[in-house]
Structure 1
Amino acid sequence: MTVLSKFPTVLLGAAAAVTMVLPPAAQALSPAEVSQMAKSFTVRITSQTSGSGVILKRQGDLYTVLTAAHVVASDDDYRMITPDGREHTVNTDSIKKLPELDLSIVQFTSNKPYQTAQIGESDQAVEGTISYIAGFPNRTEALPESIYNFTEGKITASASRPQAEGYSLVYSNNTLPGMSGGPVLNETGKLIAIHGRADTTEQAQNPNIDPSIYIKTGFNLGIPIKRFLSLVPQTGVDLGFAIPTARSTGSKLSADDYYLQASEKMDAKDYEGAIANLDQAIRLKPNYAAAHLNRGYAHFFLNQTEAALADSNKVIQLAPNQSTAYLLRGLIYSLSGENISKAPADFKRAQTLAKAQGDSSTSQTAQKMIASLKGSSDKPPDSPDLKSSMIRSGLHIANKDTKRVTQELPTLANLSCKEQNLSGYLIARMMLRMLAPADSHGAIASQTSCPAFVKDQTKLLDKAEQKIKASPNEINAYMERGLIHAEILGDTQRAIPDIQKAAKLSIAQKQQKKSKGVMVYLRSLQP
């Protein structure tokens, strides 16, 4: 729980802030100039769940930082890393959450001079205006150290009615986990919002080729600084900022209001509800490219491919350089064997645009889809129908649509059998065992049996045995032998020791995602 303790108001209200000298408001700065400014007042907040923050005020040696409340929501040992690389202890008693908002104030002390951000006019952040976001992404395998990250984008919506916790500003900037709490800046480098929610991503698994295809839906959300300024007096904290005049919202919802409501529905996987909201947004603003894009993705996740295709084509017409529109259209083409030949060109276009725009997530997804469609050079190419079935299965798994995936997986198993694709067959059967009701396993086994693999059982087991001898600590080798016993020969008891071995290896090798999946499958084998 957040500690709600009072700040020493005499300290907070007494000293003047160190502010940056900015050019006149009408004069836009270059991205490099804004980045340099942002780097001077953006901090990294470390704990079990790291995030970012922005220095708002200095009073003597006391600095006040604004961040997203969820970054500092737990009882933890927080450290503030300032632009000079110094680490400062955060007094947890100084953490104060703002009412109704996903925002918190945090303090640290230092006798070093650090710059503070200058407050901008968040009401002027309207659709089409430039936005910049700064922050420190979490460490990953690709990014072993958390380093300052700065991205450029545009405001896509500014709703008059915020959603839960004050989020109402939507932008196209590419963001990564760990950047929550970082500043959203306008073209002059002034603070207009705090970034807090990254766009929703769906993990669509191609079970035969690549386990991690990610699809971006395009919602990145921030809390306008005006909302912070209007509510901070309720905390009893005096930061010396003027209280803004409330903006009249009127009685009617705007296109941006409907668009923001759709983002909540997309997060909740209520795609029908999201489509209804986006229909209203497009009714009010027919050429609303972002609304068409996200409605297209909502239709796509519901397997409404004709409607999804119409929206993706509309986005490409309105915004020819929108990489995610080409990615969406490529995915739609991938779902149909007769249209799958059209998909690579769209994935290549998406990859080229995303790479040029610094959108590594979309670029990598497009690259993986291209590789998926190419297949492996050491075996005959999969048919278009098999490839499409793989992609449909993966998307249904990602969307946690058990009904649809259990309907598709038998098709995948039978096509894999027909084309002698062992890995596709084994994984389809494995997923069916894990997802389908136990009382249906017998019928499914009969429906998806593969006499050709049964006939080749000796050869298949010999190959699996050779893999184990060559790499005795290889998880997949034990999984393959166990799956052959369980899913081709129907001998679950002989499969269990191999799956248990795979589970132990995955735990020992700290492959958490793989160990979780292996354990679920192991439980499905046991009576």
Structure 2
Amino acid sequence: MKLNYAIVPAIIGVSITLVQPQIVVALSSSEVGKVAKAITVLIETQNGSGTGVIIQQNGKTYTVLTAKHVIETQAKYEIVTPDGQRYPLDYNTVKKLPEVDLAVMQFTSNQSYTVAKIGNSDDSAEGTTAYVAGFPQVTAAISSTIYNFTDGRITANALKPLRDGYALVYNNNTLPGMSGGPVLNDRGELVGVHGRADEADIETSKINSTVAYVKSGFNLGIPINTFLRLSSQAGVDVGVSPPTAPVATAPKPDDFYIQAGDKYDRGDFKGAIANYTTAIRLNPNYLNAYNNRGLARYNLGDFQGAIDDYNRALKINPKDADLYNNRGLARSALGDKKGAVDDYTLTLKINPNFLYAYNNRGIARNSLDDSQSAIADFNQALKINPNYAQAYAGRGISYYQLGDKNKAIADFTEALRINSNLAPPYAGRGIARFDLGDKKGAITDFNQALRINPNFAPAYTGRGIARFALGDKQGAIADLRKAANLNLEQGNTDDYQQLLELIKKLQQ
């Protein structure tokens, strides 16, 4: 019995004097990188890690600024300085700032460490350069804590902050563990403290259960001016007076943009669209608002509306790789796999190291039965990140479609070794095991997929077929009926009809 028809697509800043004027010169990325590395510290505990930035020296005592949630719970912390020295944190030195996600702490050392230069975060307008440094936490894909430095752009600097003081938004690639790290401008000045990562890199499609890879650029930081205005309450004087707080005379586009992003992260896509639309009305060239409104529309199943937003954004910047990638996803969701491949290819012409675009193109090529080209794409993704579980899963599908079930199982198993909380590789491995005659092993894999995602229709389909093969006709029909109902709820009417026909045959 052929079973992959319903499963494989789913896995897949008038006098003359002799004083020379002071000219502020931007530093190169590598120069800012050296500054960042010298001021950034790792904050480590048994339960994880975070990041901090050295902001003051008083004799042998150094003060570190971080995100409050990094050291929220009293525990045994160590501060690891850029020279690799470890200093135990005396939790009595921790001072948490009120109403914002910021805290300061101290360590004592005879060594000499660089102190951050404080900038003016009010000058960090949309489009200006932003750098973020920190230490990503250890995961299955990251075997050790390694310092990370990324560049990007400020996408919003709101006058009205979100809860906990977050008002800076930037599109840098950040990871868990980098919270508390410095946000620097192109002069190497500290303009913010990073606190929340982009939560929209990966979205699960509600239409076909595939995994879509998108970028919203919604990373959040607390402006350094917020800290300066509250620092006296923490007994910290870094020798810099905060500028006068700006007075809002009218709503800023950035205020609506940041509110939209917050709603997006909470799953209120309709509310996000309304706020993005207001931001665009106030600033018709707000590229990031178009992009993120497109993402919100994508999540609501309005793929054509998403494409319209990406097209408008591309008129503003036709060399934005993220936009082509995201438009490719929407085209793919509409069934235009060839158009999607074209968009991913344009993405890669702009950015040859765009991991997601290789993976997404591989998925689309799998759907076009171009498995060999798909394998080449997944191989490129794995060259960029050898621990990218989704690329192994996608390549496993390619091998399956080419008839090499053993290679498929090996790739699905490797994907699960890296990330055991992915349902599709379990289902994919279950398919391959079934085809090789291991029906009980297949059911075990389908059970694992459903434990992770109880609404994963392909796993019900696979398990139903495996159950029928083992003589459990009633269990098979129950699983197939569940799969049919889920496909109907998710709008997959073709699969729904095919499953109904299959159920009728089993009932005969």
Counterpart for residue 465 of structure 2? 484
Cα shift at 1:321: 2.3
Cα shift at 1:109: 1.5
Cα shift at 1:214: 3.0
Counterpart for residue 247 of structure 2? 249
Distance 1:25 1:221 in 2: 30
Query: Do the aligned residues in 2 keep the contact of 1:210 with 1:368 (CA within 8 Å)?
Result: no
Compared CA separation, residues 144 and 474, structure 1 to 2 (3 A): farther
Normalization by structure 1: what TM-score? 0.67
Query: Do the aligned residues in 2 keep the contact of 1:464 with 1:477 (CA within 8 Å)?
Result: no
Q: 1:288 aligns with which of 275, 286, 289?
A: 286
Q: Decide which moves more: 244-253 or 155-164.
A: 244-253
Distance 1:277 1:462 in 2: 49
Q: 1:342 aligns with which of 328, 331, 339?
A: 339
Superposition pairs for residues 356-435 of structure 1, below 5 Å? 356=353, 363-375=354-366
Distance 2:432 2:253 in 1: 58
The answer on 1:178 being equivalent to 2:177 is yes
Counterpart for residue 353 of structure 1? 350
Q: Which amino acid in 1 is paired with 2:34?
A: Q
Cα displacement string for residues 225-247 of structure 1 (whole angstroms, at most 9, x for unaligned residues): 00001011123x13243432432
Cα shift at 1:350: 2.4
Q: Which amino acid in 2 is paired with 1:59?
A: N
Counterpart for residue 320 of structure 1? 318
Counterpart for residue 449 of structure 1? none
Distance 2:149 2:221 in 1: 16
Compared CA separation, residues 28 and 251, structure 1 to 2 (3 A): closer
Cα shift at 1:40: 0.7
Counterpart for residue 303 of structure 1? 301
Q: Which amino acid in 2 is paired with 1:165?
A: D
Q: Secondary structure at 1:375's aligned position in 2?
A: helix
The answer on 1:148 being equivalent to 2:152 is no
Compared CA separation, residues 166 and 462, structure 1 to 2 (3 A): closer
Query: Do the aligned residues in 2 keep the contact of 1:159 with 1:256 (CA within 8 Å)?
Result: yes
Compared CA separation, residues 37 and 369, structure 1 to 2 (3 A): same
Query: Do the aligned residues in 1 keep the contact of 2:200 with 2:265 (CA within 8 Å)?
Result: no
Cα shift at 1:248: 3.1
Query: Do the aligned residues in 2 keep the contact of 1:351 with 1:364 (CA within 8 Å)?
Result: no
Query: Do the aligned residues in 1 keep the contact of 2:118 with 2:240 (CA within 8 Å)?
Result: no
Distance 1:157 1:324 in 2: 17
Give the length in aligned residue pairs: 386
Cα shift at 1:462: 7.4
The answer on 1:50 being equivalent to 2:49 is yes
Superposition pairs for residues 2-401 of structure 1, below 5 Å? 26-47=24-45, 48-201=47-200, 203-205=202-204, 212-235=211-234, 237-337=235-335, 339-356=336-353, 363-375=354-366
Cα displacement string for residues 374-410 of structure 1 (whole angstroms, at most 9, x for unaligned residues): 2289x898xxxxxxxxxxxxxxxxxxxxxxxxxxxxx
Distance 1:106 1:299 in 2: 43
Distance 1:25 1:158 in 2: 25
Distance 1:364 1:209 in 2: 22
Q: Secondary structure at 1:37's aligned position in 2?
A: helix
Cα shift at 1:486: 4.0
Cα displacement string for residues 421-469 of structure 1 (whole angstroms, at most 9, x for unaligned residues): xx9xxxxxxxxxxxxxxxxxxxxxxxxxxxxxxxxxxx9997453487x
Compared CA separation, residues 220 and 463, structure 1 to 2 (3 A): closer
Cα shift at 1:494: 9.3
Cα displacement string for residues 88-139 of structure 1 (whole angstroms, at most 9, x for unaligned residues): 1111122211111111102112111111101011111111211111111122
Distance 1:212 1:302 in 2: 15
Cα shift at 1:292: 0.7
Unpaired runs of 5+ residues, structure 2, are 1-20, 372-407, 409-430, 449-458, 479-508
Q: Secondary structure at 1:150's aligned position in 2?
A: strand
Distance 2:261 2:148 in 1: 25
Counterpart for residue 392 of structure 1? none
Counterpart for residue 412 of structure 1? none
Counterpart for residue 360 of structure 1? none
Cα shift at 1:267: 1.1
Q: Which amino acid in 2 is paired with 1:476?
A: D
Cα shift at 1:33: 0.8
Distance 1:495 1:75 in 2: 53
Compared CA separation, residues 206 and 284, structure 1 to 2 (3 A): closer
Compared CA separation, residues 461 and 284, structure 1 to 2 (3 A): closer
Query: Do the aligned residues in 1 keep the contact of 2:443 with 2:467 (CA within 8 Å)?
Result: no
Query: Do the aligned residues in 2 keep the contact of 1:25 with 1:188 (CA within 8 Å)?
Result: no
Distance 2:338 2:120 in 1: 49
Distance 1:297 1:210 in 2: 17
Distance 2:205 2:264 in 1: 22
Q: Secondary structure at 2:293's aligned position in 1?
A: helix
Cα displacement string for residues 332-387 of structure 1 (whole angstroms, at most 9, x for unaligned residues): 111123x222100112222443445xxxxxx232222212122289x898xxxxxx
Identical-residue share of aligned pairs (%) = 39
**Higher RCO (C-alpha under 8 Å, 6+ residues apart):** 2
Distance 1:310 1:208 in 2: 19
Q: Secondary structure at 2:118's aligned position in 1?
A: coil
Q: Secondary structure at 1:131's aligned position in 2?
A: strand
Query: Do the aligned residues in 1 keep the contact of 2:206 with 2:299 (CA within 8 Å)?
Result: no
Query: Do the aligned residues in 2 keep the contact of 1:213 with 1:368 (CA within 8 Å)?
Result: no
Query: Do the aligned residues in 1 keep the contact of 2:205 with 2:299 (CA within 8 Å)?
Result: no
Q: Which amino acid in 2 is paired with 1:174?
A: N
Cα shift at 1:250: 2.4
Query: Do the aligned residues in 1 keep the contact of 2:168 with 2:221 (CA within 8 Å)?
Result: yes
Query: Do the aligned residues in 1 keep the contact of 2:439 with 2:466 (CA within 8 Å)?
Result: no
Q: Secondary structure at 2:48's aligned position in 1?
A: coil
Q: Secondary structure at 1:307's aligned position in 2?
A: helix
Query: Do the aligned residues in 2 keep the contact of 1:68 with 1:103 (CA within 8 Å)?
Result: yes
Cα shift at 1:322: 1.7
Query: Do the aligned residues in 2 keep the contact of 1:167 with 1:223 (CA within 8 Å)?
Result: yes
Q: Which amino acid in 1 is paired with 2:357?
A: A
Q: Secondary structure at 2:35's aligned position in 1?
A: helix
Q: Secondary structure at 1:45's aligned position in 2?
A: strand
Unpaired runs of 5+ residues, structure 1, are 1-22, 357-362, 382-422, 424-458, 497-527
Cα shift at 1:163: 1.0
